[in-house]
Structure 1
Amino acid sequence: MYEPTNCQPREKVALIVPYRRRKEHLKIFLRYIHPFLQRQQLAYAVFVVEQFDSLPFNRGMLMNIGFKEAIKLDSFQCFIFHDVDLLPEDDRNLYKCPEDGKPRQMAFLMDIYDYKPAPNSYFGGVNAFLTTNFQLINGFSNLFWGWGSEDDDLYRRLLHHNLTVVRLSLMDSSLVQIARYTMLDHDLVNPNPDREILFKEGSYRQKYDGLSNLKYVVLKIEVTPLYTHILVDLRPKMPK
């Protein structure tokens, strides 16, 4: 946990980073994100949640696990869920807690897309929640194995609970350039073939699919100078 020495922050922020086999990305991310956050004089901790098993990657479930394990260790007022391959470019993109009922979409312009604004329905990459708001929506779905649609399902959960997504571009069009991110190069992955069906049926299972039915095995928790490493096995939740 980092805390600035020359001021008393009003809130503690947890960064949750889902991870598997991206060692070079993680090195770059950690070298970059710590100075970025410290310039903002935040009290924060970084949690890297690594999927150990050989199942398809489950980004949403790793986010949920990071949330669950982090709140066991400290009282975080908010969480920022952050892909390991995205780097914020502007210090004015503040990694502080959002307002109650207004989760924040932070990665709005990305270099890989020539900084064209993401659609208003996009809620992936990097987003911020008050702890209570993330609990309200029951977190991410645990059922999206492989790439795709877990962030769309999350966005629908927000709408279902009448939460309002905030983006800098909606607050003031002149601020849109602040939400610029660099995406690190990575291999393309095959999308989840069941993602459309899972998304279509998602509204019926929001209450029981998420934080409320999360099952996993923690293999190791190691606190290092730069992050807390949480190694997990997801096999207890593998679909039949």
Structure 2
Amino acid sequence: MNRRINFMGYRLSGSKCLGICLMLTFVMGCYLAALPIRYEKEALPNPVRQRITSQETPKKRLAVLVPFRDRFEELLEFVPHMYSFLNRQKIPFHIFIVQQKDNNRFNRASLINVGFIYSKKDYDYIAMHDVDLLPLNDNLKYDYPAAGPMHISSPKTHPKYHYDTFIGGILLVTREQYELVNGMSNNYWGWGLEDDEFYVRLKDAKLTVMRPSNISTGIDNTFRHVHDKTYRKRDMRKCYNQREVTRRRDRETGVHDVSYKLHNTHTVAVDGLNVTVLNVELICDKNRTPWCQCPEPVKAAKKT
């Protein structure tokens, strides 16, 4: 049965109506396709930066503190040697040359105190390091000494000093360990004994000094000792009551009261390797330690 539909006043059959609808649909589709289309910009989420986490704990940073005065030939050997040695161990480190710039006698301990104060903000542990002692054995590890201060230059391998309580030469100490014992005594002007007093401080604080193990080398080939004692004589003079005072444990002075002026700092390149030089004036309290300036010994007149 062919139905008729009234469309806009016309009576159309069903088949014609279907044809018109299809035509209209086609025309509308073409019209819409020709229109410009505007897209609403969607709010994009903030970019997410993927965090890459390492399974390894970042290594602690080492400040190599070198008390120094007028030993440039030794420094020229020390810097490239230590860069090569510590880079092989992949130790994050920086070398600080703490140079004494005053007329007082050399004070190794106070210079280390100053170097510690300067570096402690950015470094986790220090190496108290003589400039004339170069490690040769790669099994001497300069790692963070969490278990206790690490004496690298053990009496069994140091070229000169072999007594059991010796901790001079090269000693690694964490920031917390150094602060616990109030650093080093400031009473030691001239050569010697400041490291022996520091050993007593560590012992009183119940800190056990560790030493390298499984070292197959000995006193002749573990270190290179570049000090020439005929060219650079040790200042071993004793004057006033120095001998009496420095034989006792110092319970008063330390890193908290070291008296000094930091005149300036410089970045210096040795063979293209950067170190930081601290130019330090140590201030002597002559009422406490008059031996910071010992009078030169009077030479006996020759008999004629």
* Equivalent residue letter for 1:182: R
Cα offset for 1:224? 3.4
Q: Scaled by the length of structure 2, what TM-score is found?
A: 0.68
SS at structure 2 position matched to 1:29:
helix
Cross-structure match for 1:40: 89
* Equivalent residue letter for 1:129: V
Cross-structure match for 1:103: 149
Cα 1:231–1:56 shift into 2, 3 Å: same
Cross-structure match for 2:297: none
Please report the RMSD computed on the Cα atoms of aligned residues, expressed in angstroms. 2.0
Which protein has the bigger helix share? 1
Runs of 4+ that moved beyond 3 A: 236-240
Cα 1:195–1:120 shift into 2, 3 Å: farther
Cross-structure match for 1:3: none
- Report Cα offsets for 1:29-77 as digits up to 9, x if no partner: 01211011111111111100000111100000000000001124x1x11
Q: Is the 8 A contact 2:96 2:276 kept in 1?
A: yes
In structure 2, how many angstroms separate the alpha carbons of the residues matched to 1:143 and 1:236?
Answer: 9
Cross-structure match for 1:13: 62
Query: Is 1:122 aligned to 2:171, yes or no?
Result: no
SS at structure 1 position matched to 2:176:
helix
Query: Is 1:229 aligned to 2:271, yes or no?
Result: no
Cross-structure match for 2:233: 188
- Report Cα offsets for 1:65-100 as digits up to 9, x if no partner: 00001124x1x1111100000000111111111124
SS at structure 2 position matched to 1:197:
helix
Q: Scaled by the length of structure 1, what TM-score is found?
A: 0.85
* Equivalent residue letter for 2:64: L
* Equivalent residue letter for 1:46: I
Q: Is the 8 A contact 2:120 2:175 kept in 1?
A: no
Cross-structure match for 2:107: 58
Cross-structure match for 2:74: 25
Cross-structure match for 2:36: none
Calculate percent identity across the aligned residue pairs.
29
* Equivalent residue letter for 2:150: R
Query: Is 1:198 aligned to 2:245, yes or no?
Result: yes
* Equivalent residue letter for 1:25: E
Query: Is 1:165 aligned to 2:165, yes or no?
Result: no
Q: Is the 8 A contact 2:187 2:246 kept in 1?
A: no
SS at structure 1 position matched to 2:247:
helix
Query: Is 1:83 aligned to 2:139, yes or no?
Result: no
In structure 1, how many angstroms separate the alpha carbons of the residues matched to 2:215 and 2:99?
Answer: 34
In structure 2, how many angstroms separate the alpha carbons of the residues matched to 1:39 and 1:178?
Answer: 21
Q: Is the 8 A contact 1:137 1:158 kept in 2?
A: yes
In structure 2, how many angstroms separate the alpha carbons of the residues matched to 1:106 and 1:188?
Answer: 25
In structure 2, how many angstroms separate the alpha carbons of the residues matched to 1:130 and 1:71?
Answer: 10
Structure 1 stretches of 5 or more lacking a match? Answer: 1-6
SS at structure 1 position matched to 2:190:
coil
SS at structure 2 position matched to 1:46:
strand
Query: Is 1:175 aligned to 2:215, yes or no?
Result: yes
Cross-structure match for 1:4: none
Cross-structure match for 2:35: none
Cross-structure match for 1:71: 120
- Report Cα offsets for 1:126-160 as digits up to 9, x if no partner: 10001100000111101100001001000000111
In structure 2, how many angstroms separate the alpha carbons of the residues matched to 1:121 and 1:53?
Answer: 31
